[in-house]
Amino acid sequence: MEKGFFLGIETSSEVTGIAIVKEVTILYELRCLTGSKHNETIFSLLSDALKFIGVTIKDLSGIGVAIGPGMFTSLRVGLALAKGLALPYRLPVKGINTLDALAGTFPKSRMGIVIPIIDARKGEVFTAFYQNGERTSDYLILSPEKLAQVITQNYPNESITLIGNGLRSYLNLLTTLLPQGFDPILLEAPLPSIIALKARESIIQGEFSDVATLQPFYLRPTDAELKRQKATV
């Protein structure tokens, strides 16, 4: 049975975010631009959040944490915090895909196709397609040109919403490639409140992640993995 509060942790980008929700009410949410220094700020953000609400870790019913795709090292900071709280306090944890969280910014009733785009560097974006709140594609890594081609071929008459930090680099290009137009929402990172709410929804239904095996979700090998692969060739 749900006893109270759910924590959301977001460290997939250069923004560090913490949120606390109860039922479907957002009680606290703070997002700070921290660059790559998530580990220097996230504990103080958590402490501030708990003090503001007037609760302790023992009052939490569960934790939601962003698992990616996103920045390799920063994702591990959020996961380390989630695991560090979950194990001693026996709290359930739910890993939330950042593309799902970005799409979850909108209500399920939103018309058309919602397409989160996260800058994957190297001329590509992490993306997926959503309709009526449900994901309708695999998680993908595409060039902006390929993304525009997929949209044009499959959704020529649909209302399109693009959301995410990929717009910072590719808004002008996508505007040129998509003459049908789209609604651009530049959001640097998923909202930690959405991560908390999605985790709550899963956890109260008995669906949560295995803390021991929960890892970041990568659509592309890390640079370290690529170096190891080259070394074995």
Instruction: Give the per-residue pLDDT at 36.
Output: 81
For 221-233, letters b (16+ CB in 10 Å) and e give eeeeeeeeeeeee
Question: What phi-psi label fits residue 68: left (phi over 0), alpha (psi between -120 and 50 degrees) or beta?
Answer: left
| Average pLDDT in the chain | 93
Cβ-proximal residues to 205 (8 Å cutoff; 6+ apart), any chain: none
Would 5-99+189-232 and 106-185 be classified into the same CATH topology?
yes
Angstrom CA distances, 23 to 99, 106, 125, 141, stand at: 23, 18, 33, 34
CATH 3.30.420.40 fits 106-185, yes or no: yes
pLDDT in tens, 65-103: 999 999 999 999 999 999 999 999 999 999 999 999 999
The set of long-range contacts for 135-142, using a CB threshold of 8 Å and a minimum separation of 24, is 135/99, 135/100, 135/103, 139/69, 139/97, 139/99, 139/217, 139/219, 140/219, 141/69, 141/219, 141/220
Confidence at residue 13, expressed as pLDDT on a 0 to 100 scale: 94
Tokens representing residue 71 in the block:
């920045």
Closest CA to 155 of 174, 133, 129: 129
Sequence-distant (6+) residues with CB within 8 A of 204 are: 2
Q: Which CATH number fits domain 5-99+189-232: 2.60.40.10, 1.10.443.10, 3.40.50.360, 3.30.420.40?
A: 3.30.420.40
Q: Can you list the residues of the chain whose pLDDT is less than 50? A: 1-2, 224-233
> Counting runs of H as helices and runs of E as strands, what totals does the chain give?
7, 12
Domain residue ranges in the chain: 5-99+189-232, 106-185
